[in-house]
Amino acid sequence: MLPLVVLMLSLSAVLPAPTVDFQLDEHWNLWKSWHNKKYHEREEGWRRMVWEKNLKKIELHNLEQSMGKHSYRLGMNHFGDMTHEEFRQIVNGYKHKADRKVAGSLFLEPSFMVAPRSLDWRDKGYVTPVKDQGGCGSCWAFSATGAMEGQLYRMTGRLVSLSEQNLVDCSRPEGNEGCSGGWMDRAFQYVLDNGGLDSESSYPYMGVDMPCHYDPRYSVISLAGYADVLSGSEASLMEAVGSVGPVSVAIDAGHTSFQFYQSGIYSEQDCSSLDLDHGVLVVGYGTAQSLLSDANYWIVKNSWGSSWGDNGYIYMSKDNNNNCGIATAASYPLI
């Protein structure tokens, strides 16, 4: 074994280092400028190679999409210089465990109502603009505030942006872990225990763990509880979204296809319905008609800024065996 190791080391010493495609220089510089990327001299070569590798994956996927192999397209975005391992560590903060529940009641489908065939709560004023969690694993907080913002609007007619930083800093007693991850149910439980949650304007997002400084003078919402949707049932999730408003969900976002999603209906065959790592918000659903078939989709608000995906949103495959676990851990607050 030792001679083989020596040989490999010898070869690595004489073989040329990986090179970049100089024809992409202008594209690389434009991408860096657009996303305000700056690197140490020793780091830039490595980041350039990662970027080029990701670009080739995107181009191959889109070529296959043009041939009918995929239902969605990918695009280069601000995650382009990250390996997939780095991406997962930084942005996926939903901590899926069997004990995620605290004391949520079970959503009961209303017998007096039939959910509409399509619905978009954005059109009805329930949804704030897309936000950006940055490098903090606080997706759970953004999902939770999105659901609470929708319910606050439903009850009062006022759309108020709520403070994710308040949840990041203050909900550790309920079991959340700040920028290291958390649960939407436990965010709701914090607001229930605390008696309120501050507005975004009074408690702005910093994207780092900080001491709690909740101020009841700026609280704009209180909760009476929260409800969990029947796990795994897309039909129940549709009833909840259709009758209540935007609903917090957890998904498996741990794939390169999700990292660079741009448009179309996202369906990932390698997705898990149980291994969930990212909290997002379902704000509606619909059906896309094509010459070949009709495809149902969920309208999902993400928290990676409006430059990601379809203006910050992703359209995820609906009624497709709970693809990516979208109906596995859905919940919403009660006011």
The catalytic residue among 54, 92, 96, 139 is 139
Catalytic pick among 61, 92, 278, 324: 278
The crossing angle, in degrees rounded to 10, of helices 41-66 and 25-34 is 100
CA-based nearest residue to 53, from 29, 30, 26, 19:
19
Alpha-carbon span 113 to 121, nearest angstrom: 17
The helix/strand/coil state of 257 is: helix
Q: Kindly report each contact of residues 304-311 with a partner whose C-beta sits within 8 Å and lies 24 or more positions away, as own/partner.
A: 304/91, 304/132, 304/133, 305/78, 305/130, 305/131, 305/132, 306/129, 306/130, 307/35, 307/77, 307/78, 308/77, 308/78, 308/79, 308/261, 309/261, 309/262, 309/263, 310/261, 310/262, 310/263, 311/130
Catalytic site includes residue 302: yes
DSSP-assigned beta bridge partners for residue 225? 334
Question: Of 302, 322, 323, 324, which is the active-site residue?
Answer: 302
Residues 268 and 251 sit within 8 Å (Cβ to Cβ): no
Active-site annotation holds for 179: no
- Residue 35: active-site member: no
- Sign of torsion over alpha carbons 20, 22, 24, 30: positive
Report residue 206 CA to chain centroid gap.
18
Of residues 162, 164, 190, the one with CA closest to residue 175? 190
So which residues are the catalytic ones?
139, 278, 302
